[in-house]
């Protein structure tokens, strides 16, 4: 027998085990658009900033900005000791480990190639979950993962072809390796326990500040000083700080706290397509048949991933309500 209580709140719970609202899915779509555009921002900013110093400045400023926003809204700023431990783990894995590899990858390889390698994140996340005993294989996920990988491979094929035919192919391969390591680190972070007891803006701020501190320590030992900074690179850094870090990571924290993890990780399928479309609209980059076919496959994979996660969790919620 099923409970007759079918309020709008209870119906929305069918889409996630934590009762996700439309704004939570809106945060995920914001990730599709914003993080798909940060590859171009990184390329522009790297014209004047060494990679590790760029990461330190970007994350520290974004974290302080979010801290001010959280303070203005009266949110709790000081975490408890267990919360601080969890935030430190997330900040180090997401930002020091994963994003340092992304920045190095963009410095070594074409941004389209880097975007393709980051599509490995959902596969790594599922494999880590299986190793931890918290996930299991499903036919629907395997189909969506296969379609997504085929799509991003088509999107990145021209860049791979260009890299393999140039004298800098070894450097590009190193960049691809860094991108794969970044995907592995981000997948590991998504499998860590999220700090849901702490306000979202404060949580994102602390993780960004911890990541910025990690980058700063690395840059002291490994980076050269910053030379003259062009206006273009400065604007690129500003975009990365405000939109690419502060806004986007707040959306990511919200989505990870309320939506199925595999649905959130579908942003790795969309980002390469968004990056190439923006390049066509604003930088006169060409769109071949690979881009069109890959774009269709990428969108299909994202739809399958989100639908599979939402439907499976919805079934679990309905089963819990059956008495």
Number of compact structural domains in the chain: 1
Asked if the model's pLDDT at residue 123 lies above 70, the reply is: yes
Least confident of 110-119, 200-209, 289-298: 110-119
Q: Domain containing 34: what range?
A: 21-321
- Global pTM value: 0.73
Identify the CA nearest to 202 among candidates 98, 24, 27, 64.
64
Report the C-alpha gap between 234 and 47 in whole angstroms: 10
Q: What is the pLDDT of residues 17-61, one digit of tens each?
A: 445 677 888 888 999 889 888 888 888 888 888 888 898 999 999
Record the tokens describing residue 178, joined without a space: 């860094």
Estimate to the nearest angstrom the gap between the alpha carbon of 46 and the chain centroid.
20
Q: Is residue 8 part of a domain?
A: no
Q: What is the pLDDT of residues 67-88, one digit of tens each?
A: 998 898 888 999 999 999 999 9
- pLDDT (0 to 100) of residue 14: 32
């Amino acid at each position: 027998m099923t409970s007759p209580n079918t309020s709008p709140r209870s119906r929305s719970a069918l889409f996630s085990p934590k009762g996700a609202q439309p704004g939570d899915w809106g945060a995920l779509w914001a990730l599709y658009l914003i993080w798909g555009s940060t590859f171009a921002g990184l390329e522009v900013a790297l014209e004047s900033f060494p990679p590790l110093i760029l990461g330190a400045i970007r994350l520290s400023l974004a974290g302080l900005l979010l801290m001010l926003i959280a303070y203005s809204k009266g949110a709790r700023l000081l975490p408890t000791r267990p919360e601080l431990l969890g935030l430190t783990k997330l900040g180090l894995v997401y930002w020091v480990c994963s994003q340092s590899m992304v920045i190095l990858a963009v410095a070594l390889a074409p941004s389209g190639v880097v975007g393709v390698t980051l599509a490995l994140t959902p596969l790594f996340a599922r494999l880590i979950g299986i190793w931890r005993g918290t996930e299991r294989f499903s036919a629907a996920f395997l189909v969506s993962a296969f379609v997504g990988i085929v799509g991003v491979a088509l999107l990145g094929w021209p860049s791979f072809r260009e890299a393999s035919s140039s004298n800098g192919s070894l450097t590009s391969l190193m960049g691809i390796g860094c991108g794969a390591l970044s995907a592995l680190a981000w997948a590991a972070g998504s499998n860590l326990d999220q700090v849901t007891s702490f306000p979202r803006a404060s949580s994102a701020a602390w993780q960004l500040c911890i990541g910025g501190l990690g980058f700063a320590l690395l840059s002291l030992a490994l980076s050269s000083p910053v030379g003259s900074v062009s206006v273009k690179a400065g604007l690129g850094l500003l975009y990365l700080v405000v939109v690419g870090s502060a806004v986007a990571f707040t959306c990511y924290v919200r989505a990870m706290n309320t939506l199925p993890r595999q649905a959130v990780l579908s942003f790795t399928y969309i980002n390469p397509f968004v990056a190439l479309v923006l390049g066509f609209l604003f930088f006169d980059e060409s769109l071949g048949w690979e881009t069109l076919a890959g774009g269709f496959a990428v969108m299909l994979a994202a739809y399958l991933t989100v639908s599979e996660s939402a439907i499976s969790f919805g079934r679990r919620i309905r089963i819990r309500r059956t008495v």
